[in-house]
Amino acid sequence: MDANKHHSSLSRPFASIRGFHYPAFGICGYSGSGKTSVILELVRQLTARGLAVGVIKHDTHGIQIDREGKDSDRLFRAGADVLIGDPTQLCLRLHRRGETSLHEAIVQMAPCYDLVLVEGHKTTPLPNKVWLSGETGDDPPPEATGITRVLRRNEDRSRILLGMIEDNLASTWQATPVYAGILFGGKSSRMGRPKHLLEINGQTWLEQTVDCVRGAVEKVVLLGAGTIPDALGDLPALPDVDAKQGPLRGMLAAMRWAPFAAWIFLPCDTPRVSSAAIRWLLQQRAPGRWAILPRTHGTDFIEPLPGCYDFRARTILGLIAPSQLADHPETHSPTIPAALSSAWENINTPEDLAITKQKGE
């Protein structure tokens, strides 16, 4: 088999399942071909770059992750799923309840990782899969599917694979649909009236915010409760999630409604938000950045809104407030350019509003 056969197919996103793109990459080969050694080197290099990496490995000989007679093993054998932890690691030991396909496993892992490496599974279709030849230079067997490249022993396989992964990871990340969620309907107690219905230049703040993002995202969704201007009656409107506080109620509602989209979340009380600010925010998206929380120009203050949240951030947001994401390793906090800083300024009181009007904004 020609080592470069099907090379043009490498421009495809990693794995497309149920209409969404997942960063999954398969590495196949016979026993002794060096699969584990290559994957170990890839994991070392990718994690050193700040990426979260998961590995799917099939073991036909059975899995040994606990010691017989230990309390955790006894609990598992009694029928419980068991989470075992120490200060440096966690291990979740689950009983198999029916068959789980490779694609289902990737779907389950995708929200937690930037990249999922699949070892083996030579007969399972994946858009990106390579074959590692052994000492004899063996080619893939006829039943192997979706092989995009064969790598021989005399090639620098780790370097080549790293380049292939990097080339495709960014495009797969960009293939994730981006939606905008506009948060409105709070108490507006300091303003004394619903802020989203205040007007500027003949438009409500809510309408103006929607106009800023319409051309930059695939969908705009209204998040909250309250009167919606007639001009926005065609947009989806989602009620808040119960048992949460503040903006998080609307953010989680959106991420549950479209769990594999990236979201720009905007409050309705930043009426000076601009299309240029939204474009700048989107330009910050990259693999390994689960949340874009900009830093106020000239300060160390982190702005969770407007902010950009990849679908992977949902696994964290269910536990902490958006502002607490600032300390998460997958959060990126670029400094807001001075020319765009007004897009992050909240107007909460009649005094703030009067100053804005005096400036003619």
Question: Residue 74's pLDDT is what?
Answer: 84
> What pLDDT is attached to residue 317?
86
Name beta bridge partners: 17: 20
Give the pLDDT of residue 360.
54
CA atoms within 13 A on the CB side of 131: 26
Cβ(333)–Cβ(293) under 8 Å?
A: yes
- Return the HEC string of 261-292: CEEEEEECCCCCCCHHHHHHHHHCCCCCCCEE
The Cα–Cα gap between 31 and 34 comes to 8
Q: Where in the chain is the domain with CATH 3.40.50.300?
A: 7-175
Q: Strands, E, within the chain: which ranges?
A: 15-17, 20-22, 24-28, 53-57, 82-86, 89-93, 115-119, 129-132, 147-151, 178-184, 199-200, 203-204, 219-224, 237-238, 262-267, 291-292, 307-309, 331-332
pLDDT at 52: 92
Dihedrals φ, ψ of 212, to 5°?
A: -65, -30
Domain with CATH 3.90.550.10 in the chain: 178-358
Distance separating alpha carbons of residues 185 and 64, to the nearest angstrom:
53
Phi, psi of 33 (to 5 degrees): -80, -10
Q: What are phi and psi of 38, to 5 degrees?
A: -65, -45
Q: Which residues pair with 57 in a beta bridge?
A: 119
The CATH T-level fold of domain 178-358 is Spore Coat Polysaccharide Biosynthesis Protein SpsA; Chain A (3.90.550)
Residue 38, number of CB atoms within 10 A of its CB: 22
For residue 295, what pLDDT is reported? 93
* Correct CATH for 7-175 of 3.30.70.270, 3.40.50.300, 3.30.70.1380, 2.30.42.10: 3.40.50.300
**Which of 138, 230, 237 has its CA nearest to residue 182?**
237
Q: Provide the pairing of β-strand 20-22 with 15-17.
A: antiparallel
Residue 184's DSSP bridge partners are 224
Overall residue count recorded for the chain in this entry: 361
**What pLDDT sits at residue 233?**
93
Burial track 8-31 (b if 16+ CB lie within 10 A, e otherwise):
eeeebbbbebeebbbbbbbbbbbe
**pLDDT by residue, tens only, the chain of 361 residues:** 333 333 333 334 444 444 456 788 899 999 889 999 999 999 999 999 999 999 988 665 556 677 777 888 888 888 888 888 888 877 777 777 666 677 777 777 878 899 989 888 888 777 788 999 988 878 888 888 889 899 999 999 999 999 999 888 877 787 889 999 999 987 677 777 888 888 888 889 999 999 999 999 999 999 998 899 999 999 999 998 886 778 899 999 999 999 889 999 999 889 889 999 999 999 999 999 999 999 987 788 899 999 999 999 988 887 788 888 888 889 999 999 999 999 998 887 777 777 666 555 5
Predicted pLDDT of residue 289: 93
CA 273 from centre of chain: 24
CA-only gyration radius of the chain, Å:
24
